[in-house]
Structures are given as structure tokens and as C-alpha cells.
Structure 1
Amino acid sequence: MSVSVLAPGLSSSVQDLGRCGHAALGVGRAGALDGDALRLANALVGNLPGAAGIEITLTGPRLRFDATVAFALCGADFEARLDGAIVAGWRSHHAPAGSLLELGHARSGCRAWLALGGGIALPRMLDSRATDLNAALGPLPRALRAGDVLPLDTLHDPPRARRRRWSLDPRPWFAGADAAPLRVLPGRDHARLDAASRSAFHAMPFRVTATSNRVGVRLDGTPLRLEQAFECVSEPLVPGVVQLPPGGQPIILLGEHPVSGGYPRIGQVAAVDLPRLAQVRPGTALRFALVDAATAAALLHARRRARDQLEARIRARLEQA
């Protein structure tokens, strides 16, 4: 089984849960910017949680299926049609052989994840099928192009998932229009900001710029300044680090961030809020609210527990089908 790309959309790429454990080699994680959305889409079609799907940004691709395939789209609210008929997100569907899936513009949010029955079966590179667009790494080391043919793994395409339709309530998992502040822990260099900058970081909105991408969200707002310039040692980085370049406009790192860097670190976005950053468009206003480590950990554990329980319920229903 395979899926043919007739048109690629703005920026569509093959993603799984990422290439973990290779930072010492200078290789970043990449992977879906919202791993929960990909996992839930995979659950809806009976895939393993880490099966590779397609991450779609703002405008989606046109795909043709060469065999009957289950699919589900989770994340942003995209216009989606199967052979001209509207199909809903956060729901499993079945595409007959020869059918055409057209994904238009995102009506809210920025990104969605398309899971396909069996998962995309490209060869693994360093234990992952994920595409790192910035580093040009992966079995398909670039965004999708017209003419690409993506093989699917028929060994893990459960017949029950092809026969049954399931839907999820997206509200606990998708916050594309949520204007609540991003929860952030003080970074190592937060105290080095001058008083006016500390106040602005906590109270003033920042706008997402058009130069944002899978490497990071670049912000524009009141320039932030340090009380005294100092030289940083390059150190390991993780998603959610809020760096402060010399120009004073913060950058929030995302999944394709470099494995190390030397800009001052003024904050760390709580991991529970990282999926929200996958959905911000250029021009979106962001605010920050300080939380402590215990609060951030409790919020993340609650979200993961809810996700795990939901995946288990979906698996149980598929087994009973």
C-alpha cells in the first residue's frame, strides 16, 4: 500500500515522535511538534503510538490512496475533503482505493497531523523516520513534493480500525485560539534582566514573527535588556528554552532547535504548553506567566495521564470491534 502526493501543501513533512538520544552526535530530535496530536491520530486508526504520519502546516497536501486506508487528522482545524465530501478532524475515516484526500487551509491553528493506517514505512534513520527540515536529515530529508510516493506498513494496519469509525473531543488537546499566557519557568539568566525587562517579559505581549519555523518561534515586542552584558558558554538545549539574542527579541526553541547554544536563557516554557506553540501563526500575540517547577511537572503529568488513559480506551474499543 502507498499514498501518492499530488500537491504538497505549504510545508508538509514525514514525522514520528522524534529521533531521541543522538544529541551527543550533534543530531537533534525533530519529530512532531505536538506528539500528543500525532499519538491520538495514530490511536484512532489503530497504529502504534510512534507510527510516522504527515505534519501539515497552514495549507495541506492533495493525496491519492492506491488501496483502502484508514486515516485520521488531529490538530488544527483544516478544510478536508475525501473525493469532494467534507471529512471532520479528530475522527477516523476510510479512504477507498483510488480516492483523493484534499486538505485546504487551516481555519484556526497552524498545524495538524495526518495518521495513515499502518504508518508511513520509510526506512529508519537513527531509530526514527522523522524529517529534520532545518538539518536536511531523515529518510526523506525535505518537505513533501508532488510525485512523492509514501509506502505504508501493511503489517500494522488492523482490519478492525479500517471497519470502525471513532471520534474525539478536541477541546482538551487543541488550544489554537487559546489566549491564556504561556506558563514559563524562570531561566538561568532570568535574574540578569534589568528591572524594566523583567516587568515587560511578565506583563507585555509579544507578536509571533513570520520568520518563525520548526526551529523556533521568533517574537517581536518590547526589547529585553540585560543589566550587564556577559559571555555565555555554549550548553545543551531543549524545546521550550526562551533565548535572548543581542537584539533583545526572544526566541522560543521548538523541535528542530540546535543541540547546543550560547544565548542567555531567560525562561523555559512548561512542557505542558509546548503543543500550543505548534499552533501559533505569524501575528499571534503571546504572553508569559511564571510558574514553579512543581506546578509545571504536575500539569505535565496530568496531561500525560489523560492521554494514556484515552489511548487505552481507544485500543480496548478496537479490540472489541
Structure 2
Amino acid sequence: MGIRILNGGFLTTVQDMGRYGSQETGMAVSGVMDTRAAALADILVGNDENEAVLEVTMMGPIMEFTEDELIAVTGGDLGAKVDGNPLPRYEAVLIKAGQTVSFGGMYGGSRAYVAFAGGLDVPVVMGSRSTNLKAKIGGIEGRKLGAGDEIGFRSPKTWLPNMAARKLLLPELSSREHTLRVVMGPQDDCFTEEGISTFLGSAYTISNEYDRMGCRMEGPVIAHKNGGDIITDGISFGAVQVPSHGNPIVMMADHQTTGGYTKIACVISVDLPELAQCMPGHTVRFKKIGIEEAQELYCQWRDYLKQLEKELNCPAEPASELQAVGLAAAVNEDRRYWGDHGTYRVVVNGTEFLVELKREIEQFR
């Protein structure tokens, strides 16, 4: 079938890249907090990057697999294990039926992501499988996962092309100090020059009031010209609200669709994953950049994802006719066999195997 939840952990939900197209009705986008980690997890197991994953917050779940499946765990290091042994992160790993995956600590970052090859069998609600906890829709009955929940796999896989290459370098998550790049506006003209300088020149500490809706920070007061209230307008993921109390609040994945506080800036898309992995007590500084630079950084990230997906999913090319002639000649003249290297799918009695071949020389007797 899929997975059986034995313990749901602190906050484990089903999320994808979000529920777009319904904000005009008041429906939040939701989706994963760390879009970078979630996208990489999906690509590592051959999924579209918008496929639903499990978002694991701080203390992770315990889940038993009832069917063989390839998974990838990315994001924060929350002590992922399989049957009590360390489970590699940022790597496609085959989990067998009967094995148990658990999370046992917080060694860096605050959120981990688990992607399942072929996707989870979760209903699509308003174009997304994401869990909206406040509206109680999406995911599993619109709530966090708990003991006894079962989720099936839509199209489980035990092999993928280029398995040996489905491994990425682990990100550095040990820092407690972070610099987030921002594009100023849309209400930066509501702040004094001193207020702008304070915002860009001060360190802010992430408070305990940090959840999927927003990240409240504490530090030097950012001065307004005429208070922090405005006529309500739209809000985006990463918008930095500054109410009249003068401290910033960064809107996160479950942010409301509109709000009536001044927004001094917006954290750029490629830096939001770093904030998603922060913890209360970490310090943040804001750095101003132009919108053109922000767009260029985003385009570079998109290009990287496309290239990674292409490299991992490119099947091994069959030998050309010329290569085949050369192989035959080698066998006839030298009685030696040159095996073409690559990754191949082999089906034996209905069971699929992924075979990695390396170039070898074999002397015939």
C-alpha cells in the first residue's frame, strides 16, 4: 500500500508547492516552507518538483513502509534513520516493505522533506495536495499526521535511471546568523529615512512566535512616518510587514491573503528556504538588492533544477552501429569483451531491476 504512521511527530503534513489561483477567495497558498529542499527531494526520486512530499517540522514522525519504495530525505538534519540506522540525506534510497523510517533529533535546520517516487495517493483539492491547517483542507483531512494514518503510493518505484548519480552535497545548516536579501517596497515610502537605515543596518532575533504563517522578529524599532496601518492589500510569501510596534514579521507559506500593515520589503524567493530552516534565537540581517538581481538569481536556480532533472532522468544511450562493429571486432581479434557503461532497466519474471554496468575487459577461455 504505502506508509503507516506510527507516531506523527511534532508537526508532519502533506505539502506540495502550493494552492495557487484562489487567493481572491481568501484561500491561502500554503505549500512547503523550504521550496528548495522539497524540489530537490522530488527530483532525486524522479518526480515533478510539484509532487506532494511530507514536511517534517522539528521532531519527526515514525512511519512503517508496507510496500517497497524509493524515497529521498532533504532539508534539515533531523536525525533520519531506517530501522535504527542512519538514513542518507539528499540521496535516493530504496526502503523495503516492513522497514521503519524515523527521525530522532535536531542537528541542523528545522524542517525535513520526504519525497516518494511516483507520489503519494492524496486527493487534489482546488488544484493542490497541500495541507491548509486553518481551513482544514488538503493533505489528510486538512490536519497534521497522527498515529494510525495510512497513505498509499500512487506509482511506487524500486529503480530509476542513473541511481548512482542521485546524490547531492549536503547543505550547511549550522549557522545561527543569516543574511536575507530583500527587494524594497511596496510601502517603503511609509518609513522615515532613519527607519529604512535601521531595517537595513540592524540585526533582528527570531522570536518564539514563528510558525508556518509568519516569522516574528525582535530588535531595533523601525520608524514609520505616520504609523503602521494601511488600507488592506495583498500579501506574498516573503513580504516583510512592520506593524506600528516597529518590529518586522516575514510572511511564510500559510500567510493570509491580505493585510493592513505596511510592508517595507520582500525577502527574495531564493533566500526564503534559508529562513524556513531557521530557529527561534537565530539572528537575521536584511540586505537590499534590485529586482533585476533578484530575478536573475531566481532564473539561475530554475536553470539549475532543469539541468539536474535532465541529467538524472536521461536514459543510457544504446551503442551505435559503429560501436557495435568495433565490439565485434574486438571479440574476434583479441577475444576480449568491452562492456558499454551506463544504467539499464532489466525485467525478470515481472520484477524490475536497475543494473549499473561499468566498462570491463574480460578474457575468454
TM-score (norm 1): 0.93
Task: Point out where structure 1 has 5 or more consecutive residues left out of the alignment.
Answer: none
3-state SS of 2:230 partner: coil
Q: 1:279, CA displacement in angstroms?
A: 0.5
Distance in 2 (alpha carbons) for counterparts of 1:250 and 1:54: 29
Distance in 2 (alpha carbons) for counterparts of 1:221 and 1:125: 40
Give the number of the structure with larger relative contact order, counting CA–CA contacts within 8 Å between residues 6 or more apart: 1
Distance in 1 (alpha carbons) for counterparts of 2:228 and 2:299: 36
Aligned residue type for 2:9: G
Aligned to 1:249: 247
Aligned to 2:192: 194
Alignment of 1:111-130 (within 5 A): 111-130=111-130
Aligned to 1:284: 282
Q: Does 1:147 align with 2:148?
A: yes
Q: Give 1 or 2: higher strand fraction.
A: 2
Q: 1:196, CA displacement in angstroms?
A: 3.0
Aligned to 2:263: 265
Distance in 2 (alpha carbons) for counterparts of 1:229 and 1:116: 48
Q: Does 1:316 align with 2:314?
A: yes
Aligned to 1:71: 71
Could you say if the C-alpha distance between residues 304 and 244 of structure 1 is closer, same or farther in structure 2, counting changes exceeding 3 Å? same
Structure 1 stretches of 4+ with a deviation exceeding 6 A read none
Contact 2:92 2:167 in 1 (8 A): yes
Contact 1:160 1:318 in 2 (8 A): no
Could you say if the C-alpha distance between residues 170 and 134 of structure 1 is closer, same or farther in structure 2, counting changes exceeding 3 Å? farther
Task: Point out where structure 2 has 5 or more consecutive residues left out of the alignment.
Answer: 318-342, 345-365
Contact 1:192 1:227 in 2 (8 A): yes
Distance in 1 (alpha carbons) for counterparts of 2:235 and 2:92: 36
Aligned residue type for 1:135: A
- Determine which structure has more spread, i.e. the larger CA radius of gyration: 2
Contact 1:161 1:318 in 2 (8 A): no
Q: 1:200, CA displacement in angstroms?
A: 1.5
3-state SS of 2:160 partner: helix
Could you say if the C-alpha distance between residues 38 and 79 of structure 1 is closer, same or farther in structure 2, counting changes exceeding 3 Å? same
Contact 2:44 2:167 in 1 (8 A): yes
Could you say if the C-alpha distance between residues 163 and 7 of structure 1 is closer, same or farther in structure 2, counting changes exceeding 3 Å? farther
Instruction: Give the CA RMSD over aligned residues.
Output: 2.0
Q: 1:180, CA displacement in angstroms?
A: 4.5
Aligned residue type for 1:316: C
Distance in 2 (alpha carbons) for counterparts of 1:162 and 1:64: 26
Q: 1:177, CA displacement in angstroms?
A: 2.8
Could you say if the C-alpha distance between residues 206 and 108 of structure 1 is closer, same or farther in structure 2, counting changes exceeding 3 Å? same
Q: Does 1:296 align with 2:279?
A: no
Contact 2:69 2:117 in 1 (8 A): yes
Q: 1:266, CA displacement in angstroms?
A: 0.6
Alignment of 1:101-250 (within 5 A): 101-140=101-140, 141-154=142-155, 157-161=156-160, 164=163, 166-171=166-171, 177=175, 179-229=177-227, 231-250=229-248
Identity of aligned residues (%): 30
Work out the number of aligned pairs and report it.
317
Contact 1:46 1:158 in 2 (8 A): no
3-state SS of 2:295 partner: helix
